[in-house]
Structures are given as structure tokens and as C-alpha cells.
Structure 1
């Protein structure tokens, strides 16, 4: 009897792992952590007994099991955090998708239904992304786009990178999620809720009008391609109609982006940061050991900046500039 129950449990676990992979693939290869937890809650039979931490651990177990199977095929589910931070991502998902308070039902061991108590899932900026490890940047692009479209994607990325290095003197929009998060973090770290906002910002985004200047495609072809790139989570579009690089593109092309464009990675987690906070001291530059070129000033994701300024220092570790007053929003 025990052997039979063990086989049933093993089969159920394998089925849940397979269904989660199918769910990720059906979502174009990228899912927020709490989407997957909610999906997992529909699959597990003893759900009503588990804590939030157990759900998270169980999900990670399934992802690890998926990666064991995918490894021989040259694929992997990687974990990537969104640069705007867990608080902002949580609020966005709660408003748009109603993910965080769950009153779902699950089957118990007698195959009846048991109402779960409302459960608030943890704040999370983590996404799970299905990526191809075996191919190069060129073949990853070629698997999705024709030659002209590939050239447009590379050209558009170059425009994003060029624009992102330009620091603009002036006040960023108070409605920006980055501005709101930085203000909240600085107020908590200093105890002063009346700190003046920074007067510099930069953005790795480009307006649609500028992107229509690509010569090898018509305006209609570019508009259709931009829509497809957003659906694939390679690009994203802001409310003001600007485009930037989304998480899936970062996940698949991070090494290419950092090496090709001499980008500085997050001071805390050492991952590519295209949204967050940058040191406002233009003298905060360091020479790259390989290229000999000057790297941009120190940069942090929002959550990494919160950790740094709360637990490490309120001064930039490279140039000693006071980050509380001398920072740049990276929008």
C-alpha cells in the first residue's frame, strides 16, 4: 500500500511539473512568480495545509525538476528580478491581474472541494523565463525574426542604449514608478519624508517616431513588429508611447548587451540594470579592465538600491558622492 501511494505521489508531482512547464510556455515563456504559485495551488491536493513559504519552496522544487529535464535539450527556466522592485511589481500585478488575494478551491484527498482561506502572496519582483542556452544571440533572433526584422531589433536596441547614457537635467515625472519608489526608500532610510526629488534622470527608452526611422522596413511593418516584440516580452511600451527592453530580451541577451555596449551592471547583484538608480556624480566612472573604456557611473536596481542605502552606505562606494541628494533616476 505504501509503495502504491508513493508511486501515486511521484506521478502527481511529475504531472504538476509538466503542467507548470506547459503553463510557462503558453505565457510566451515568461511568468511572474505568483502566477505560477496560483497555478500550482490548482494542482496540489494538500494545498490547504501549506504556508506561503511552503508554496514558494514547492514552486522552486518544480522549477529545478524542469531544468533537470531541459538541460539535455539546451534550455532552462531562469529566475530574473524586475528592476522596478518588488513593491512596484506587486502593486501593478494586484491592480491589473488581482493575483494576490486568492479564494480558490482545491481538491482534498477525498476528491471533495475545500475552500482555502484568503491568502496574501508575498511581494515579489521575480519572473521565470524560458531561455535557449545553446544558441547564440544571432540564432536566438533568427528563430523569431527574418533578416530585416533582426536588423531592426539590433538597431532599436542600439538606440535604447545610446539614449540611456544621456543624463537629462530636469525633474522627472512624479507619476513615474521609479520616482515614487526612490522617494519612499529615501524617506524610510533617512526618516525625512520632505527630501527634495533629484533633478536628473535618464531612460533606456525611445519614442515610436524615432523607431520608425529604420530604413529597411515600412512604417506599418515596424508598427506590427513592435507590437509583436511587446507580445513576446522583448520590448515594452510605456503609457507615453516609448519603447524599451523588456525582461525576456534581458534574460536571453544579457551577456551580449553588457559586452557590446559597455554597460555597468548593478553594484549589488551584478546583473544588467536598465531601470533603477544611478550615481549622479559624472566623475563616478571606472576603467574597464578589458576594453580600457570608462564605465558609466554606479547603478542599482530599485530593490538593490534599497538594500545598499539601508544596510551598506548612503554614499557611492566608488566616488563617495552622497546618494541621498545626488542621484539619477533611470526610468
Structure 2
């Protein structure tokens, strides 16, 4: 998945505000910020943008302590009002939890308003995603791409979700991923260092970019251009090793397409598609259960350490989902 820090933070993204900003102005700038972030931005980043706007407008009392909880509620209210404005246009700003969980996301958040708020913001995995509600999955693709481009996109998705999505023996020295590290941290804390040795299997939902160049749908040059366009759109991401996977915005906007056309695991906690986290191998053909990294942390702490619908623990019957 795309590095959550590099795509959405930075002082160059903060809009210059005037002391006479109205609430309508604030909402207009917040929407502009979300769009500048390619339609997906962490709540902490959007909140820091909002606080900067309010500070530049002179709305903070001198020496007033900033309560992030109170300002987060005000931000939520602004987003709700934005959605009322966007509804006639068939767009919506949807709040989702990043599949990698709050610890991972928060470590990559850069606080660029340290003079206003303490740098140690509470861990937070919430993201805002600008989504198109007007068309179904097929039409969302058709409105942006040619028929040949759509053919390549569908072919690529099929390769990503089927080419290597079989259960494989996990060899630690051969596979590396932030997913593995985060899942290990959660389960090691649950079972203890002396009892946890890592999972024995994994399922990959990534594919080498070179394999996607072996297409008959479009030219290689156009394939490279399209992969870049899809990365900019936050539908695909490219890992440091050059592997291609499905990014967060695609999983949100195209969930129906994925569920209807592929046997993708769904999270037992939030019911979204799981490509990053853990899947249960027990009775997989009957119940394709999974948990995102963030959902796994909540599940093992508050529900159970056993795979859903199974008497086996995650360590016994779980596999890393690396997407």
C-alpha cells in the first residue's frame, strides 16, 4: 500500500487563509485539500489543515489549550455539511479505516503545526475518501478510460487477485512487507515472545510490474502510462520492490465489482475487502474470513484469538494477507 505519509502531508498543501474566512470558505478549502491529496487523506492530516485555517483566521484565543477531540468533532461537522452540498452532484466524502491500522498510519503522519498542537497526536487510522456515487463499478471505469484501457485494467485486477493468491509456505528471508511486521507485533503481544514464532503461510495480492507489461490489451507504452495514472488516482500502488497492488481508494470505490467477480476475503469486523492483514485458512472454501491489520488488533484484544468459526488460533490457522 502507498506510504501513508508521503502522499498527504507537507506545508505546501496548506491553503493560505484570510482573517475573514467564513465557514463556507473553510469547507471550500478543506475540499480543495482533499482533492489535492488525490481524493484520499488521513483524518489527522485533514485536521491539521483545518487547524491551520482556523489559526490563520484568528479564531484561537490567546493561550487557549487546543483539545483535539473538540476540533475533530468540528471537522466532522464540516465534512457532514460538505456532503450535503456534494449530494446533488452524486459525490460523497466517506470516512474509512486504513487497513494497516492506527499504529502504522500514525507513525507515518507528519505534524506540520507543531506550534499549535503537541506533536504526539493520538493514534488514528481514519481516512476521508472522495467517492463518486453516480455510477456503478463498470460505469466508473468507462467514464475515465477507453475500452482498451478498461480491458487492460480488468486483466490486471484479475492477475493481481488470482495469479499468486493461492496459499504459499512463508519463508521469512524471501518475503518482506509492512503487513508481516504489523501482524507479528499484534500476535506477539497476544501470545508472548516465547510462544509466537510467526505464521507459516501467506497469500499475496501483489504482482510484479513487469508481468503487467506482458499484455495484449494495449501497447507497453500505454500500459506504463496507465499504471502511472492509476497510481495517481490511488487505485493502484507500487511497492518499493516494484510490485503492484490495489490501493485503498480502489477497494472503497470498486468493492461491489471485486465481490461480484472475485473470491476476495471480507473482514469479519468491518465487512470490507481484506487484502492487507490476516486470513483464516480453516474452512476457507466455505467461509473466506479475514481481518485487516487494524481490525485484527481490536479482535484479539476484545473478541478472541481464534480464527472466526474455528477452534484454531490465528497462529495455527492464519496466513498473512500481503496486498
The TM-score bracket by the shorter chain reads 0.7 to 0.9
2-structure distance, mates of 1:26, 1:182: 32
Residues 300-311 of structure 1 mapped to structure 2, 5 A cutoff: 300-311=291-302
Matched, 1:18 2:28: yes
Match of 1:322 in 2: 313
CA distance in 1, matches of 2:74, 2:80: 10
**Is the Cα contact below 8 Å between 1:200 and 1:280 reproduced in 2?**
no
Aligned positions, number: 297
Shift in alpha-carbon separation, 1:319–1:118, aligned structure 2, 3 A: closer
Q: Which has the higher contact order (CA 8 A, sep 6+)?
A: 2
Q: Is 1:172–1:179's contact at 8 Å kept on the other side of the alignment?
A: no
1:170 positional shift: 2.4
Counterpart in the other structure of 1:129 = 129
TM-score by length of 1: 0.83
SS of the equivalent of 1:138 reads helix
**After superposition, what is the alpha-carbon deviation per residue over 1:167-204, rounded to whole angstroms, capped at 9, x for unaligned?**
11122457421111112111222233551111211111
For the residues of structure 2 that align with 1:59 and 1:171, how far apart are their CA atoms?
Answer: 45
The structure with the largest alpha-carbon Rg is: 1
CA distance in 2, matches of 1:216, 1:176: 30
Aligned pairs for 1:184-199 (under 5 A) are 184-192=185-193, 195-199=196-200
Per-residue deviation, 1:216: 2.2
Structure 2 Cα separation of the partners of residues 196 and 274 of structure 1: 22
Partner of residue 159, structure 1:
159
Could you tell me which residue of structure 2 aligns to residue 109 of structure 1? none
Indicate the RMSD between aligned Cα atoms, in angstroms.
Answer: 2.1
| Whole-angstrom CA distance in 2 between matches of 1:256 and 1:168 | 26
Separation in structure 1 between the aligned mates of residue 240 and residue 252 of structure 2, nearest angstrom: 23
Change (3 A) 1:166 1:16: same
SS in 2 for 1:329: strand
* Residues in 2 aligned to 1:164 and 1:60: alpha-carbon distance in whole angstroms: 40
Distance 1:136 1:314 in 2: 37
1: distance between equivalents of 2:111 and 2:245?
Answer: 27
Q: 1:149 aligned to 2:162? A: no
Task: State the match for 2:245 in structure 1.
Answer: 244
SS in 2 for 1:120: coil
Separation in 2 of the partners of 1:260 and 1:72? Answer: 30
* Unmatched segments (≥5 aa) in structure 2: 1-18
Within 5 Å, give how 1:130-279 maps onto structure 2: 130-163=130-163, 165-172=165-172, 175-192=176-193, 195-279=196-280
Question: Does the Cα contact within 8 Å between 2:38 and 2:233 map onto a contact in 1?
Answer: yes
Residue 316 of structure 1 deviates from its aligned partner by 1.7
TM-score by length of 2: 0.85
Q: Confirm or deny: 8 A CA contact 1:171 1:198 kept in the other structure.
A: no
1:84 maps to 100
| Ranges in structure 1 where 5+ consecutive residues have no aligned partner | 1-8, 105-115, 287-294
Displacement of 1:285 after TM fit? 3.5
Contact map agreement 1:171 1:201 (CA 8 A) in 2: no
